[in-house]
Amino acid sequence: MNQIQWATIAVLVVVFAPIALTTVLFLLHRNRRKLDAKELAIECREQLFSMLVRNADDIYVMFSPEGFAVEYVSPNVEKLLGVSSDAVKRDIRVLSESAVDPSGDPGTEAIASLEEGGCLQMHRERIRPTTGEVRWYQETLYRESIKGVDKYVLVLSDRTEERKSSLLLEQALDIARSSNEAKSQFLANMSHDIRTPINAIVGMTKIARESGEASEKITSCLDAITVSSRHLLELINDVLDMSRIESGQLELQERRFDLDDVVAEVEAIIRPQAQAKCQDLHVDCSGVEHKVFAGDELRISQILLNLASNAVKYTQEGGSISFVVSELEKTRSSYARLVFAILDNGMGMSPEFVERIFDPFERSEEVSISRIQGTGLGMSITKALIDAMGGVVEIESEVGSGSAFRVTLELRLASPKETRPPLDDASAVEPYDFEGKRFLLAEDNELNAEIMIELLGHRGAEVEWAENGEAACDAFARRPVGYYDAVLMDVMMPIMNGYEAARAIRACAGACACAADVKIIALTANAFAEDVKTALDAGMDAHVAKPVDIDGLAGVLGRICG
């Protein structure tokens, strides 16, 4: 290499070396600033994380599977559990010292068998050293893989306040349940205690009317007593129904029924009321293709009776009322959509009242309407029943022009295999000839027994009275096969109640065939749906609620004895 080349290299080194050195120093300085910024950010995050952990109620511990060596423990462990972080790092088992029950730790095998991504969870009480307070902890152990290395993460979460809230909620629910049960029991007792004297009033009124010795004035008074008693009974039924709806105890029974029977029953009850006001009642169900369904026949009848009786009640004398049933196009197989329309040209309602008509105790403030008796519960109950059946009710009304109520229900079509269940109320209307029939009456109330003996005797029947269930069983056992045509059984009786007596009579079936065949009817002031079921489960054939309507009883006897 000649001198010129060496000189050139020397010049280049002298010229570019400072530039290269400056560039390197600049890059190093810039990287140092970036590293300092990252270190500052990391330090800030660590301080923030440390502050969060120190003030949190959750304790975090990370340890390795090998010997359970602790690699990290949150700094709040000392404040919450009274154990230093260093002590936990030396031996994780020191965490058990704050536990009320140290034996609750998961075993080594359970921890080792925990799969990746899985967790173990337990709850136990721990003592907070600073206050001596017992706190409730949820302890969760996770197994995670961090860059291919297995780690355990233990999280101790203070759930004391949540547990207190949960316990308070449970206590509130228990109180609410107890209150509902107490209210239901009170209403059941009230129903029983009120129905018993009403039974005497209705029964004695019936006897007085049938004596044929009453003057026109007395007959008019007896009619007023009958109407008032019926109204009182309706009020009781409304209050009981509303109570059950509010407490969520409303149950629907699905059983086979014929739509024609429901319509005929509603018409049979409503037509006399309409005739008394010289109203024109039009009933039409010709637009219905299907007639036999599975559903709650009694509740459907209750809905229609509430709406139809209101139409009669709030329509002037000489007005007109239409009860029309039609069938809409199906939306699903095995079901039919029916529309029950109740139309009238009566008083009508304002738009404001239509908006709140289904509210409990709501009644119109119109003078002409406010004079009409009622609890204001009927429409609220009707709406609740429709909702329970998944139905819809629509209202069109105009003051002075009348109202139209349309109820749409989707009912399951009954299969040919489904049969109508035993009658459990007094809604049947089949005639029954009491002449020459013999009944065993189990009734602890002497006045009620006297009424039944008189009413049945007036129709040519012979009644033998037993004052409790045990006496009824003894009387039944003494008589020959087929001696009694039916047993009329009260339920609430001393010594042996009606359910026990019915079971005892049925238990004699092995020794006496008539014990299995004799018809037993519950005549009781216990009128709830579960009372009906209990009576049938006890071996009775039917249930008739007090006050006993003798014509209704005749219908029941005609159905089950015919």
What average pLDDT score do residues 402-407 get?
Answer: 95
Q: Which CATH class is domain 258-413?
A: alpha beta
Q: Do the Cβ atoms of 274 and 321 come closer than 8 Å?
A: yes
Which helix (H) or strand (E) segment holds residue 293: the answer is: strand 292-295
Q: How far apart are CA 281 and CA 192, in angstroms?
A: 36
Distance CA 145, CA 400 (A): 79
Q: Which residues, other chains included, contact 8 with Cβ-Cβ below 8 Å and sequence gap of 6+?
A: none
Q: What is the DSSP letter of 116?
A: T
Which pLDDT score is estimated for 58?
85
- The superfamily CATH assigns to domain 60-158 is PAS domain (3.30.450.20)
Instruction: Give the separation between CA 396 and CA 227, rounded to whole angstroms.
Output: 31
What per-residue confidence (pLDDT) applies to 51? 47
CA dihedral 535, 536, 541, 543 (to 10 degrees): 50
Instruction: Identify the DSSP state of 99.
Output: B
Q: What is the pLDDT of residues 468-520, one digit of tens each?
A: 999 999 999 888 888 899 999 999 899 999 999 999 998 875 555 556 688 99
Task: Given CATH 1.10.287.130, say whether it is the number of domain 169-246.
Answer: yes
Burial (Cβ within 10 Å: 0-12, 13-18, ≥19) of residue 248: exposed
Count of CB atoms within 10 A of residue 55's CB? 9
Average pLDDT estimate for 389-409 = 93
Instruction: Name which of 499, 522, 491, 528 is nearest 251 in CA terms.
Output: 528
CA 191 to CA 196: how far, in whole Å?
9
The fold of 438-561 is: Rossmann fold (3.40.50)
Domain ranges of the chain: 1-55, 60-158, 169-246, 258-413, 438-561
- Per-residue pLDDT for 395 more than 70? yes
Calpha distance 118→114 (Å, rounded)? 6
Sign, CA torsion 523/526/532/537: negative
pLDDT greater than 90 at residue 359: no
pLDDT higher for 376 or 289?
289
Cβ count within 10 A of residue 161? 11
Entry pTM: 0.55
Confidence band of 45 (pLDDT split at 50, 70, 90): low
Q: Are 336 and 290 in contact (CB under 8 A)?
A: yes
Give me 319's structure tokens. Answer: 């007005």
Q: Where are the beta strands (DSSP E) in 49-205?
A: 58-63, 70-73, 119-128, 133-146, 149-158
Say how far apart CA 207 and CA 199 lie, in whole Å: 12
Q: Which range has the worst mean pLDDT, 100-104, 122-126, 170-174?
A: 100-104
How far apart are the C-alpha atoms of 233 and 397, rounded to whole Å?
A: 29
Instruction: Name the CA radius of gyration of the chain, rounded.
Output: 41
